[in-house]
């Protein structure tokens, strides 16, 4: 399983709501894809998030 939503990373339920409707639309579309494709896309997203977090840690 990918590293999204781990218990120590999660905020309140209010913080977990996706507010960007375009992003939500794409996530809903990805959610309906076959598992193999969905998992490949999630790995790409995870890599971008990890890269972003690393840059944030270095700059702050």
- As a whole number of angstroms, the distance between CA 30 and CA 27 comes to 5
Residue 45, pLDDT above cutoff 70:
yes
Note the pLDDT of residue 9.
55
Mean pLDDT of the region 10-37: 87
Cβ neighbours, 10 Å, residue 41: 13
Residue 24, pLDDT above cutoff 80:
yes
Note the pLDDT of residue 16.
80
Phi, psi of 19 (to 5 degrees): -95, -25
What is the domain partition of the chain in residue ranges? 34-60
Mean pLDDT of the region 4-30: 76
């Amino acid at each position: 399983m990918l590293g999204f939503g781990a218990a120590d990373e999660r905020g309140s339920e209010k913080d977990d709501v996706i507010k960007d409707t375009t992003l939500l639309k794409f996530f809903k579309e990805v959610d309906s894809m076959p598992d193999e494709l969905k998992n490949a896309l999630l790995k790409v997203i995870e890599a971008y998030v990890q890269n972003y977090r690393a840059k944030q840690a270095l700059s702050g």
